Amino acid sequence: MKKLLLSTVFFLLSVTFASAQLLPSFQFGIKGGINDAGLNLSNPTFNNSTRIGYLGGFWARIGALGFNFQPELYVTSKNVEISDNTGETKAQFTSIDVPLLFGGKVGAFGLGARFYTGPLVSLAINKSQSFSGALNNAVNLNYKDQNFAWQFGTGLDIRNISIDLRYEAGITKQTYGNSQTRVSLFSLSLAVPLIKI
């Protein structure tokens, strides 16, 4: 009798876990968070300091068979600070970012872990820089209007809350003075579904 009871419980748990991962699902929601952006400067004359920025927007997740596709649309602010012995440049770039992420999920009973990766296109809508010292006359960061990056991340779903940690590696080269650089960042965000099917 004990074996039958254990087998029944194991079977029900397996069916619940499998159905949570295999059946088609759709979610749509809002998200917000912070990021920490930096430049990959090859010139040792300049010092690069990261500054906190923000992100906020919408996401969707379409899943089946334990895999999912997650397109997103959000506004993000990337902030960097560059300095040398003549002064500093503080740059803030606001953009509309569209990542297209592919990944998988494991878990059941309202708790799950996700992993994903995919390309991102970033469309700059505001580019501002403040200068101090002679650095203004020497160089500035020419941030392009359209940029491409690749995101890697992991997430944790706890019932109706998703927490994401991501790394974004810049693909598009930016011009800073006579050198080329790429913008990269880490982001931490919180997402809540508004529609869940």
For CA atoms 154, 119, 42, 175, give the dihedral sign. negative
DSSP for 27-59? EEEEEEEEEEEEE----TTSEEEEEEEEEEEEE
Q: How many domains does the chain have?
A: 1
Residue 10 lies in a domain: no
The percent of residues above 90 in pLDDT, for the chain, comes to 49
The answer to whether residue 134 scores a pLDDT higher than 50 is no
Rounded distance between C-alpha atoms, residue 167 and residue 186, angstroms = 5
18 falls in which pLDDT band (50, 70, 90)?
Answer: very low
Residue 170 lies in a domain: yes
| 11: pLDDT strictly greater than 80 | no
Q: What is the pLDDT of residue 181?
A: 81
CATH number assigned to the domain comprising residue 77 = 2.40.160.20
Q: Are 6 and 148 in contact (CB under 8 A)?
A: no
Q: pTM of the full predicted structure?
A: 0.79
Does 148 fall in a domain? yes
Note whether residue 91 is domain-resident: yes
The three-state secondary structure class of 134 is coil
- Answer whether 80's CB lies under 8 Å from 141's CB: yes
Does residue 101 belong to any structural domain of this protein? Answer: yes
Query: Predicted confidence band at 20 (pLDDT cuts at 50, 70, 90)?
Result: very low
Question: What is residue 1's predicted lDDT score, i.e. its pLDDT?
Answer: 56
Domain range spanning residue 93?
A: 24-196
**pLDDT for position 48:** 66
For residue 29, what pLDDT is reported? Answer: 97
pLDDT one-digit tens code per residue, 70-108: 999 999 999 888 776 666 778 888 999 999 999 998 887
